[in-house]
Structure 1
Amino acid sequence: MTTLSPSISFSNRSRWTRFIAVAGPGLVVMLADTDAGSVITAAQSGAQWGYQLLLLQLILAPILFVVQELTVRLGIVSGKGHGDLIQQHFGRGWALVSVGTLVIACIGALLSELSGLAGVGLLFGIPAQVTMAIVVSGLIIMAFTGSYLSVERIAMCVGAFELVFLIVAWYAKPELSSMVSGSLSIPWREPKYLYLVAANIGAVIMPWMVFYQQSAVVEKKLTIDDLPAARWDTAVGSVITQVIMAAVLIATAATLGKSNSGAALDTVQQIAQAITPFLGEETGKILFALGMVGSALVATIVVTLTAARSLGEVLGVKHSLDLEPKDAPWFYGIFTTSLVIGGLFVASGVNLVSLSVGVQVMNALLLPIVLGFLYLLARRLPEAYRLKGPYAIVVALVILFSAGFGVFAGLSGAV
C-alpha cells in the first residue's frame, strides 16, 4: 500500500509564537464557513423555532473540527493539495470528477456570496452594478499584487467583521432562562424542524472547505513541527464559526421568535428589515451590514481561490499566490474569470433563486465524495499520522452522519 511521506523541519519557537505564525488557514476557512447562506439559515432557525436549534450549533463545533483536522493532517504530512492526492492514489479520472463537481459548487457558492454583497449595497441605496464593480476589481487587485500571507491577513481582517453578530445578539437582549429551556426543547417529530436541522448541518461542512484548507497549509509551507499549532488553529476557528452562527440565531430568536414566529428570511434585506425595529433602524442595518460583508467577502475569497487551486492541481499547472501572474497564468486567469462572470451575473439582475436549489443539490451529492476520499486518504498516511483505531471509527460515523444529512438537505431542497 502506498503511503504519504512526511517532510520534517525543526524550530525552537515557543508554542505561542508558533501558533501566531501558523494560524490562518483554519481561521480563514472557518470564517468563510459562516457565509451568506449560513447566516440566512441561522436567522431562519431563530425566527421559526426560537432557541430550539441553539444546542445544535454547539454540537456541530467538534464535528466540524473532526472533519477539517483530517485536511490539516493530510496537507502537512503529504505536502500536497486534495486534488493532487486523489489523483496520486485513485487516478486522474476520479480527480477530474471530484474537482470538476467542486468547481461547479464553488461557482454556485460564489454567486450566492456576491448576491449577498449586492444585497448589502442595496440596503444603502448602492446599485448592484456598482457594488459588483468595487468587489470584483478590489479582489482581483488583491490577488495580483499580494502574496499568500497578505491575502490570508486580508481575509482574516475582513472575516473579523463577523464578530459584529455577537454585538447584535447582545443588543437583542435575550433571556438566559428562555435560552436554556428553549435549547432543551427539541421537537424531533416535526418535519419542518428536522429539515432545518439538516440545513444547519449542511451549512457547516462545505466540500470546498476541505480543498481550501489542505491547499492553504501546503502553500503556507507548514511542516510536521507545525501540526499541533495548525490543529489549534482549526479548533479555535471551529468554535468561533459556531459561536457566530449561535449569535445570529439568538438575535432573531430574541426578536422575531417572540413577535413574528415563522417570518420569511430568505435575503439580506429581509433579515435587516426584520430586526431593525428591535435594534433600532440605523443600528440594526449597520451592524448586520458589517457582519454580512465580512461573511460574504471572506467566503468569496475562499471559494474563488479553491476553484483556481484545485483546477491547477489536476491540470498540472502552477497555482500559487506567491507566483507572479505571468508565471501562473492559468491560476490567475481562472481566479479572474470566475469573479468577472459571477459579478456580471449578479449585476444583471438575473433571478438566482432556482440556481441556489441546484447548488444545494450539488453540494449534497459532492459531500459524500469529498468526505469519502478524505477518510480513505487519511487511512494511507504514515503510521505515526494515520487515521486508525477507535478514533477512525468515530470519524467514520461523523462522516456518515454529516454526508447523510447533507444529502437529505439537498434532496429536500430540490423537492
Structure 2
Amino acid sequence: MIKDIFNNIGPGPLVAAAFIGPGTVTLCTIAGINFGFALLWAMGLSIIATVVLQEMAARLGIITQKGLSEIIRTEIYNPVLKSLTVILIISAIVIGNAAYEAGNISGGVLGLETLVGKHNLELFGFSINTLCILTGLIAFSLLYVGNYKTIERALMALVLLMSLAFLITAILTKPNIANILKGVFIPVFPEDSLLIIIGLIGTTVVPYNLFLHASLVKEKWKYKRDLSLARKDAYISVVLGGLVSMCIIISAASIQSMNISNASDLAKGLKPLFGSFAQYFLAVGLFAAGITSAITAPLAAAYVSCGCLGFKSDLKSKKFKAIWMFILVLGVLLSSLNFKPIDIIKFAQVANGILLPIIVIVLIWIMNKSSVLGTYKNNIKQNILGILILCITILLSISALHKVFGLNIF
C-alpha cells in the first residue's frame, strides 16, 4: 500500500520544493519575528491560489502532453505579441532563475554552515566557499543523470526531510494552538505589513512553477484517466508546502529580535531558548530548501527556454542540458565568490512582477479553449477563482515595482 502511494506521487513535491526556497524561508522568518502568528492567513490564501493555478497547469500538461511555453508559442498567432510574450518569459524565468540560483545555493550553504561551520579555500587571491561547490555538485549530479524518476525520488526525499525539519522545529517552540488558529482564519493587517503579506503570497504563487508543472506531469502521466492522480498530487504537495512555510513563521514567532534577518540567524537564535535540537533541525530544513530550489530552478529554465524556442524538451537533450548547466554553474560561481548580482536580480524581480499577471491571463485564456482542452476546459467555478487570483497577481506586480523602484503606491 505504501509503495502504491509513492508510485502515484508525481511532480507535486518538485513544485513544493521550487517555491520553498531560501527566499521563502527568509521572508517567513521576518514575518514571524515582526508579526507573530498574525500573517498566517496570508499563507493560507496563497495555498488556495497556488492549488487553483497549479491544477490548471497540470491539467493542461496531461491533456495536451505539451508544456505551457510550447502551448503559448503555438496558440498566440500574432507575431508581434508572440515575440513580446516569449521575450518576457525568457527574461523573467531564464535570466531570473540564473540570478536567483546563487541565492538558492547560498541558502543551502547557510544551513550547512550552521551544522559544520564555514569552509573557505584561498585561490589566486579569491576566497572560495567550498560548501557552495559541494552543494552545486550534488545538484549537478542529480540533473546530469537525466532520469525523471531519479530526480523525482531525490527531491521527494529532500522535501520530506525539509517538512519534518521545519515541523519538528515548530513543535519544539511549543506554540499556542489557539493563537495559531486565530492567525490562520482571521485576516488582520498590522501596521507596515502590506508588502510582507503580498510577498508571502508572491513567494508561493511563482510564475516558473506553472511552466515546470505543465512540463513535468507529461513525464509522469500520459493518459487523460491519470488526471485525478495528478490533481491529488498537486493538492497534497502544495498544501504540504504551505504548511512548511507556516511552520517557519510559527518557529520565528517564538523569538522577538530585530537582529534576525534570515533562517540561519533564526537557527542560532533558537538554540539558547529551545536547545541545540531546534537549531539543527532548522539548519537541515534550510539546507534542504536551498538544494531543492537549486535543482528545480535550472530545470524550469531549461523547460521554459526549450518550449519557447522550439527545442526538444527532453532531460537527455544536449540543448536542454546546456541550458540547465549554464544556470547551475553560474549560480555556483556567483555564490562561491560571494558575488551578489543586484542589478540582475532587480531586473528579474521587475520581469517576474510583470510576467505573473500576464501568465495568469494567458493561462485562463488557454484553459477556456475547446480547441486545446476539449471537454477538459475550465468550468465557471474555475474561471471565477482564476479571475480572483488574477487580481491578487496584479497586486503582486505592483508590489514588485514598488520594491525595486521605491514607488510610493501604497
TM range (shorter): 0.7 to 0.9
In the other structure, the counterpart of 1:299 is 293
2:313 to 303, 313, 319: 319
CA distance in 1, matches of 2:269, 2:401: 29
Match of 1:269 in 2: 264
Partner residue in 1 for 2:395: 405
CA contact (8 A) 2:108 2:288 kept: no
Measured in 1, the distance between the counterparts of 2:186 and 2:312 equals: 52
- 1:279 and 2:259 aligned: no
* Cα pair 2:55 2:234 within 8 Å, conserved: yes
> 1:283 deviation in Å?
2.0
Matches of 2:343 and 2:91 in 1, distance apart?
21
Q: Which residue of 2 aligns with 1:167?
A: 168
1:365-376 mapped onto 2 (5 Å cutoff) = 365-376=354-365
Residue of structure 2 aligned with 1:111, choices 102, 107, 114? 102
Task: State the Cα deviation string for residues 43-90 of structure 1 (Å, max 9, x = none).
Answer: 111100111012222232222110100001110111111111000001
Aligned pair count reads 388
Say which of 4, 28, 52 aligns to 1:42. 28
The separation in 2 between residues aligned to 1:313 and 1:60, in whole angstroms, is 27
Q: Distance in 1 between matches of 2:346 and 2:31?
A: 18
Matched with 1:152 is 152
User: Do the aligned partners of residues 303 and 351 (structure 1) sit closer, same or farther apart at CA in structure 2, a change above 3 Å counting?
Assistant: closer
What amino acid maps onto 1:275 in structure 2? L
Give the partner amino acid of 1:170. Answer: I
Determine if the alignment matches structure 1 residue 361 to structure 2 residue 355.
no
Cα drift, residue 277 of structure 1: 2.1
Q: Is the 8 A contact 2:15 2:209 kept in 1?
A: yes
Map of 1:188 onto structure 2:
189
8 Å contact 1:22–1:226 — kept in the other structure? no
Q: 2:336 aligns with which of 347, 365, 375?
A: 347
Letter in 2 for 1:377: I
Aligned match of 2:368:
379
Aligned partners of 2:46 and 2:205 also within 8 Å: no
Correspondence for 1:396 among 363, 381, 387 = 387
Is 2:116 the counterpart of 1:126? no
Of 288-297 and 345-354, more deviation after overlay is shown by: 345-354
What whole-Å deviation, never above 9, does each CA across 1:288-338 have from its counterpart, x for those lacking one?
1110111111111111111112212223222322x3xxxx21111111121
Contiguous gaps of at least 5 residues in structure 2 = 121-127
Given that 1:29 and 1:212 are in contact with CA atoms closer than 8 Å, whether structure 2 keeps it comes out as yes
Q: CA deviation at 1:340?
A: 1.0
TM-score (norm 1): 0.87
Counterpart-to-counterpart distance in 1, 2:146 and 2:389: 37
Other-structure match for 1:4:
none
Give the secondary-structure state (helix, strand or coil) at the position aligned to 2:373.
coil
Cα-to-partner distance string for 1:323-362 (whole Å, 9 max, x where unaligned): 3xxxx21111111121111111111122356654443333
Residue identity (%): 22
Question: In 2, are the aligned partners of 1:201 and 1:405 still within 8 Å (CA)?
Answer: no
SS at match of 1:234: helix
Contact persistence 2:69–2:307 (CA under 8 A): yes
- State which of 315, 333, 336 in structure 1 corresponds to 2:325: 336
Take 1:354 and 1:270, find their aligned partners in 2: how far apart are those partners? 26
What is the alpha-carbon distance in structure 1 between the residues aligned to residue 313 and residue 210 of structure 2? Answer: 17
When residues 122 and 352 of structure 1 are mapped into structure 2, their CA distance, relative to the original with a 3 A threshold, is farther
TM-score calculated relative to the size of structure 2? 0.88
In 2, Cα distance between the equivalents of 1:54 and 1:354? Answer: 32
| Cα distance in 2 between the residues matched to 1:62 and 1:182 | 16
Instruction: Report the Cα offset of residue 18 of structure 1.
Output: 7.0
In the alignment, the residues of structure 1 paired with residue 381 and residue 229 of structure 2 have an alpha-carbon distance, to the nearest angstrom, of 24
CA contact (8 A) 1:83 1:313 kept: yes
User: Is the partner of 2:377 in helix, strand or coil?
Assistant: coil
